[in-house]
Amino acid sequence: MPIYRYIIRRLLFIIPLLLGITVVSFVIANAVPADPINANLPQNALNDEELVAAFRAKWGLDKSPFEQYLVYMGNLLQGDMGVSIKTNNPVVEDIRQFLPATMELATYSIVVGLIMGIGFGVISAIWRNSIIDYFVRFFALIGVSFPVFLLALIALTVFHGELGWAAGPGRLSILTRDPPGITGWFTIDALLTGQFETFQDAFSHLILPSIVLGSYVSGIIARITRSSLLEQLGSDYIRTARSKGLYETSIIFKHGLSNALIPVVTMIGLLYGNLLAGAVLTESIFNWPGIGRYAFRASTSQDFPAIMGVSMLIAFIYVMVNFLVDLLYFFLDPRIRAS
């Protein structure tokens, strides 16, 4: 079918999905048992009835959950996600401050993961069931088998602490100034404004955490690549190509791999969403000021505007990335276009 029809069809389904996301986020945010009043108002204020009432009114706590939801949605459509109870900043501001850091890390991690994963997968498929295959699969599994925060700490201690090969925790060295906030991605912003030293610093700080997170996803990517490539290599059109006398490498890479990568592309969306939130564990160890750490602090302090904002945001990003991936899929897989 033509592409615009495909887009419209997908979009039509996304809208109720997004609505559902807001509802679920709202439920999540209100699932915490205790009254935010007591958690966020200091002692003296608690005794003042007017103040308590004012606090309730300000955060809409005096209304029924349904009304609160409607108020929230009304504000949301105007771009207002409320104010974080903990930081006293608009949630939109907080997200603007913390999200780019995680997105930058997640993107670099996916790239690393893809490189490592596809590499491992191809090697594993070509030398299937040989020693190399087992070795590579074992190696790829290490990233997925140990708890990621443990790997992160080991990596930090060994490669930074002991060997001094990698940069330390944080996005930049402590004495380096943040580049001007254009996109929020330090590497891009530094390049755009010609701050090459800052770029170097930011990049070197990204290496270790993205390798740790990347090896986490490379395991899954490797497995999919391997099985997908094996499937392709065993299929008819490959046999035809072989019988035509084409070189083996050309067969593998030009024909087999491009088809084999389709499922990998599908996974990217899923993985990206998981990386965004799962980064909370790695962000703690690497002192990365991202949305994962923010989400964790919000959830443990019943900061429901923040909880809601973050939940919605991550789910939203996941849906959008999947949508883009589906679009990409549309171009890659002729079968869909034909339907």
Interaction residues for other proteins, span 45-74 (CB under 8 A): 45, 48, 51, 54
Token pair of 145 as six digits: 């088998």
Q: According to CB under 8 A, which residues from 294 to 313 bind other proteins?
A: 294-297, 299-302, 307, 310-311
CB 43 → other proteins: shortest distance, Å?
A: 6
CB 258 → other proteins: shortest distance, Å?
A: 18
CB 223 → other proteins: shortest distance, Å?
A: 7
Give which of 278, 316, 274, 299 is closest to 20, Cα–Cα. Answer: 316
CB 204 → other proteins: shortest distance, Å?
A: 13
* CB proximity list for 2: less than 8 A, separation 6 or greater: none
Give which of 293, 287, 276 is closest to 213, Cα–Cα. Answer: 276
Give which of 153, 270, 164 is closest to 212, Cα–Cα. Answer: 153
Q: Binding marks (x or -) toward other proteins, 131..150, rule CB under 8 A?
A: ---x--xx--xx-xxxxxxx
- Contact segment (CB under 8 A) with other proteins among 114-122, 233-241, 245-253, 256-264 equals 233-241
255 in contact with other proteins (CB under 8 A): no
175 in contact with other proteins (CB under 8 A): yes
Q: Which is nearer to other proteins, 63 or 160 (CB)?
A: 160
- Contact segment (CB under 8 A) with other proteins among 59-67, 72-80, 231-239, 245-253 equals 231-239
Asked whether the beta carbons of 117 and 222 are under 8 A apart, the reply is: yes
Q: At what angle do helices 91-126 and 304-332 cross, to 10 degrees?
A: 40
Q: At what angle do helices 196-233 and 91-126 cross, to 10 degrees?
A: 50
Buried b (16+ CB within 10 A) or exposed e, 84-99: bbbbeebbbebbebbb
Token pair of 339 as six digits: 């339907």
Q: Which is nearer to other proteins, 108 or 318 (CB)?
A: 318
- Contact segment (CB under 8 A) with other proteins among 3-11, 105-113, 202-210, 279-287 equals 279-287
286 in contact with other proteins (CB under 8 A): yes
Token pair of 198 as six digits: 């800052």
- Give the dihedral of Cα atoms 158, 160, 164, 167; nearest 10 deg: 160
Token pair of 201 as six digits: 């610093």
* Options 116, 122, 318, 325; binder of other proteins; rule CB under 8 A: 318
236 in contact with other proteins (CB under 8 A): no
CB 229: neighbour CB atoms within 10 A?
24
- Contact segment (CB under 8 A) with other proteins among 70-78, 219-227, 240-248, 253-261 equals 219-227
Q: According to CB under 8 A, which residues from 91 to 110 bind other proteins?
A: 97
What's the half-sphere exposure (Cβ side, CA atoms, 13 Å) at 170?
9
How far lies 293's CA from each of 25, 67, 205, 297, in Å? 18, 30, 18, 6
* Options 95, 206, 212, 314; binder of other proteins; rule CB under 8 A: 314
Q: Which is nearer to other proteins, 194 or 245 (CB)?
A: 194
CB 299 → other proteins: shortest distance, Å?
A: 5
Alpha helices in 178-290 (DSSP H): 186-192, 196-233, 236-244, 248-250, 258-286
How far lies 2's CA from each of 49, 62, 167, 328, 329, in Å? 63, 51, 49, 14, 14
Q: Which is nearer to other proteins, 29 or 112 (CB)?
A: 29
What's the half-sphere exposure (Cβ side, CA atoms, 13 Å) at 242?
12
CB 148 → other proteins: shortest distance, Å?
A: 7
Q: According to CB under 8 A, which residues from 11 to 30 bind other proteins?
A: 13, 16-17, 20-21, 24, 28-29
8 in contact with other proteins (CB under 8 A): no
Q: Which is nearer to other proteins, 81 or 277 (CB)?
A: 277
Q: Which is nearer to other proteins, 233 or 264 (CB)?
A: 233
